[in-house]
Each structure stands twice: as C-alpha cells, then as structure tokens.
Amino acid sequence: MNFRAAQLGFAYGLHEATFELQNPGLVAIAGPNGAGKSTLLGIMAGLRHPYRGSCTYAGVEVRRWRRREFARRVTFLPQSMRIEFPFTAEQVVFMGRTPYGDGWFESPEDDAAVARAMETTDTLAFRSRDFRALSGGERQLVILASALAQDPETLLLDEPTTFLDLKHQLSMYRMLADLAARGMLVVAVTHDLNLALRFSDRVLLLDQGRIAADGAPPEVLHPDLIAQVFGVHAEIRQDSLGRPWISYDA
C-alpha cells in the first residue's frame, strides 16, 4: 500500500476525499479548473498543511515523515521550475540527488542515477547547456530527469505536459506509462482527458473539491460524467486501431 486518504480536506479546494493508491500504476487526477487537483497533489507531496482528515504513505501520516526520508521515496514534479543561476541541465538533474547527499562531492551512485535519468528522458544531448537557455519543453524534461534521479518509488506530477507540443505530450505519457509498468506508482494531474483515457490505469475525477468518480478510465471518462463535471457534450469514438478517444461539441 502506498497512499491512503480518509476524509481528506483542506481549507480551500478539497473536501472529504477518501481513496487508496497502490503500487504500481499510472493514476490520472482530472477535473475542471478549481476542482482541487493541485491541492490534493500538494497534500500528497507534503507541501500543503495543515489538512483535515488523514493522508498516509506506507502507513505513516505524510506530515510525520522526515523530509529527507520522504524525498527518497516520493518525488514531486511541479508544472515549472524557475532557476536564475547558470546551472547546466546536468547540474539541475544532479539536484535530484540531494536527499542522498552526505558531502560536497557526487558519489558513483549519484553519477549512475543521473545518467540513467537523463537517458530515460532523452536529455543527454543537451546535458551541458545552460538550463535557462532551454525551451520550455526541454526544461520540463530536465525537471523530470531530476525527479527520476531521486530513484523514487512514487512520482507525483502536476500537469507534466505543460510547455510540450503534441508529439512530446504523447512521448511524456508513454514514458510515464513505462515507468508504471516497471513498478512505480505515477500520479499525474492532467486537463487532457484523452491522455488520461489512453495511458492511465485509473482516473480520479474531481469536481468542486470532491471525488466525483474513481475507477478505470472507460468507466470514469464517459459522456454522462463528462457532461456532469465539465458541462460539455462528449462522445466516445474509436481510432483506426480500435482505441477509444473523446470528441467534444464546439
């Protein structure tokens, strides 16, 4: 068991959320603006408190974890990271090894973890470039590499496809699905219902701070619930390979 929430609430944006998330799998958190998605993820990452109710990881209340120990097991990826200093992309990825640092110098384990993370995210080609000079999409991949360099068992992501074009959005979610298939719990906030439908194993659908639905993507992302939560008419269609996708009325 990884995360367990019971009657979880926050001063604003979240009310009485109860769920369990087990390892492994790719879980999408979806919902309209203001539904409580980022608030929920922030609580799970240990960044929002005080909260009401309970939110535990591996049986321990999130707020009671020692931060370094928690960071070795759970990594949070924000929508963007602002860095004003002239760090290279590789140096930014090395920052992900902070929870393991015991001195000023990197260990062979740090070197190996950073190399693996940059290979996984296909960022080795610009490892020596100034992070500030990278495109938004390249920065997002470097931030993901930094998160993976922590060697976490759980990865929390807030809108991971921000700044990415369509090709790289698909590539990002294929990568996340692969990480889940290899044993990681991946939880991603997304506005893109088609990405959630195609790649996730489970969807938590939030509406006005409450869980409106929780289950397999085809069960949650169907026209009735989409109309109820988002206020738009939708239809489920199939592509040439028989995979479902959602179309919307203008």
Predicted pLDDT at 12: 81
Above pLDDT 70, what percent of the chain?
Answer: 97
CATH of 3-248, one of 3.40.50.300, 2.40.110.10, 3.10.350.10, 3.30.565.10: 3.40.50.300
Cα-based distances in Å from 181 to 56, 101, 178, 184, 203: 23, 29, 5, 7, 16
When pLDDT is cut at 50, 70 and 90, the band that residue 80 belongs to is low
Distance, in Å, from the CA atom of 152 to the CA atom of 185, rounded to the nearest integer, reads 9
Domain ranges of the chain: 3-248
Render pLDDT for 115-146 as a digit per residue (tens, 0 to 9): 999 999 999 999 999 999 998 888 889 999 99
Render pLDDT for 18-42 as a digit per residue (tens, 0 to 9): 999 988 999 999 999 999 999 999 9
Which of 27-31, 68-72, 201-205 has the weakest average pLDDT?
Answer: 68-72
Averaged pLDDT of the chain: 91
Predicted pLDDT at 240: 85
Predicted pLDDT at 79: 76
Number of H helices, E strands in the chain: 9, 12
Sign of CA dihedral 247, 236, 238, 35: positive
Res 150 pLDDT > 80: yes
Q: Which carries the bigger pLDDT value, residue 105 or residue 11? A: 11
Res 102 pLDDT > 70: no
Sign of CA dihedral 208, 212, 217, 223: negative
The 3-state DSSP class for residue 106 equals coil
